[in-house]
Amino acid sequence: MKRAVALVMVTAALSFSTAPLAAQDNARLDAQKKEAVKGVDEMAKLAQEMVDSVFSFGELGMQEVETSRYLTAQLEKFGFKVTRGQSGIPTAWVATYGSGKPVIALGSDIDGIPQSSQKPGVAYHDPIIEGAPGHGEGHNTGTPLNIIAAIAVKKIMERDKLPGTIMLWPGVAEELVASKAWFVRDGMFKDVDVNLFTHVGNNLGTSWGQGGGTGLVSMEFTFEGETAHSAGAPWRGRSALDAVELMSVGWQYRREHLRLSHRSHSVITNGGDQPNVVPRNASIWFYFREIDQPHIKELVDIGIKMAEGAALMTNTKMTYRILGTAYPQHMNKVVAETMYENIKAVGLPAWSEQDQALAKGLQKELGNATQDGLAVKLGELGKPVALEDNTGGGSDDIGDISWNMPTITLRYPANIPGLPGHNWSSGIASATPIAHKGVIAGAKAQAMTVLDLLTKPELVKGAWDYFNNVQTKDVKYVPFITRDTPAPTFLNKAILEKYREQMRKFYYDPTKFPTYLDQLGIKYPTVRTAETPKPQQ
């Protein structure tokens, strides 16, 4: 085996791309891919432990303390070098193995959703801790997938002395789109050739070109007035809450005259202290979403004007700050096509009867029109969405990365189709055999694609050719944050302070229980029967 490798390297140095050499290289790459697939399968137990552990931590964005500690410990155990605290974010880290070019980065999100605590494997709302956060999207699965893929590839790199670097990184606070633009700004990816991002889905797939959905700016507007006795001398007070309410009402009127592709929503983060005191301080937090940068900017400008108007009306002072930002996405054609070939080779997992029963049980519970369970047919390679066909939707700050280097998102089938998202129902499959199998399938496609990129320089070259001469030929990246915008590391602190000690009792202990379902004593699947209490309406 070793002699064959040496021969290939010598021949490669002497002559370029002769037909027999190409055949020999392909045979070698095929063998490496087969081994990576085998290596991933052999790590199924580790994948399950990582998926279940991160699920049990259930941490929200910027507070992924246990999650990051656990995942980086795994990476260090397997020989990756870890640095922490990127962009001033305590839960951010970078793990690397290898040296030199190409540098292939693997990323995935790690944060959860407020109020989505849920027992896995139970096809109706049944929180582990009422009101606590949880993985109501499935972000517990992506980094375990990347770690499994990276370990499988690392073994082959070591043995075959493949040059190149694998880098792993976490999407901190993705639900708040509050880290990736900062990572880009601070040069975390400056040497990266290709970024292979991965996100939970309900099929195995990828896409290229301009994506659907939106980009956004997340902004908090704070008003400052003056307190007074609300009954004794209300005329001496100036209410910051009035300003918040007027801005909110003003925005609802303006909404009628905004483009159909826009989305905007807000929560009041501070509405004052008590009714008897005119609120001196109040804040409202908006997401301004549109399908391209100029229109996002337009919404931001409208928002600032409206806030100024509210301040004028109430004689209060207004300040604002950016808490997050996501660019509309554009994924790389060459990398997506390479990934899609590997996706076809891997195929969908073989679902068990129990897996399908859980999926169909949940779809029935939610009253879905379609109740046909888990995906059994691979999707097509996703193609560009024309701006005029984009009716808006969600965002991901992977968009910022996609405008700075060739990037794709691999979607893997670790969740059930037809769910509302950001909801307890999206956490049901996330620590069950559905997620475990979906992660294994995804890790295989990811590992195979890393091997393609490490061993075929023409792919990296082609990816940059698309990036430079097609994607960014006429459209340039204009970040919404500046040098001075700090990462909002304080977000979700209070929620985790409230729930962490209760949640700690439910952290998964793989030394005592084969799976998290076993630890919680859940029969898989648990689907509603006549005896199950009816959900609260």
Q: Which residues bind Zn ion (CB under 5 A)?
A: 137
Minimum CB separation from Zn ion for residue 84, in Å? 23
Alpha-carbon distance values, 382 to 41, 510, 528 (Å): 27, 38, 36
Minimum CB separation from Zn ion for residue 174, in Å? 5
Minimum CB separation from Zn ion for residue 199, in Å? 6
49 or 137: CB nearest Zn ion: 137
Q: Which residues pair with 522 in a beta bridge?
A: none
Minimum CB separation from Zn ion for residue 108, in Å? 9
State how far Cα 535 lies from the chain centre: 30
Distance CA 213, CA 207 (A): 13
Minimum CB separation from Zn ion for residue 137, in Å? 5
Minimum CB separation from Zn ion for residue 214, in Å? 14
Distance CA 364, CA 499 (A): 31
Minimum CB separation from Zn ion for residue 138, in Å? 8
- Classify residue 151 as exposed, middle or buried by CB count within 10 Å of its CB (0-12, 13-18, 19+): buried
Distance CA 304, CA 401 (A): 27
Minimum CB separation from Zn ion for residue 399, in Å? 12
223 or 412: CB nearest Zn ion: 412
Minimum CB separation from Zn ion for residue 329, in Å? 12
Token pair 């797939």 is found at: 205
Alpha-carbon distance values, 19 to 16, 28, 460 (Å): 9, 14, 21
Listed residue (199, 166, 179) closest to 95, CA to CA: 166
Distance CA 129, CA 499 (A): 9
137 or 365: CB nearest Zn ion: 137
137 or 400: CB nearest Zn ion: 137
114 or 510: CB nearest Zn ion: 114
- Classify residue 101 as exposed, middle or buried by CB count within 10 Å of its CB (0-12, 13-18, 19+): middle
314 or 329: CB nearest Zn ion: 329
139 or 280: CB nearest Zn ion: 139
DSSP string, 398-462: HHHHHTTS-EEEEEEE-S-SS--SSSGGGGSSTTSHHHHHHHHHHHHHHHHHHHHHHH-HHHHHH
Tokens of 505: 């009792």
Minimum CB separation from Zn ion for residue 109, in Å? 5
Minimum CB separation from Zn ion for residue 183, in Å? 16
33 or 199: CB nearest Zn ion: 199
Minimum CB separation from Zn ion for residue 139, in Å? 6
121 or 136: CB nearest Zn ion: 136
Q: Which residues contact 56 (CB under 8 A, 6 or more apart)?
A: 431, 506, 507, 508, 516
Pairing mode, if any, of strands 407-413 and 194-201? Answer: parallel
Distance CA 1, CA 478 (A): 50
Token pair 């290939």 is found at: 8
Distance CA 322, CA 219 (A): 5
Distance CA 168, CA 40 (A): 17
137 or 220: CB nearest Zn ion: 137
137 or 290: CB nearest Zn ion: 137
Query: Is residue 149 within 8 Å of 155, Cβ to Cβ?
Result: no
241 or 414: CB nearest Zn ion: 414
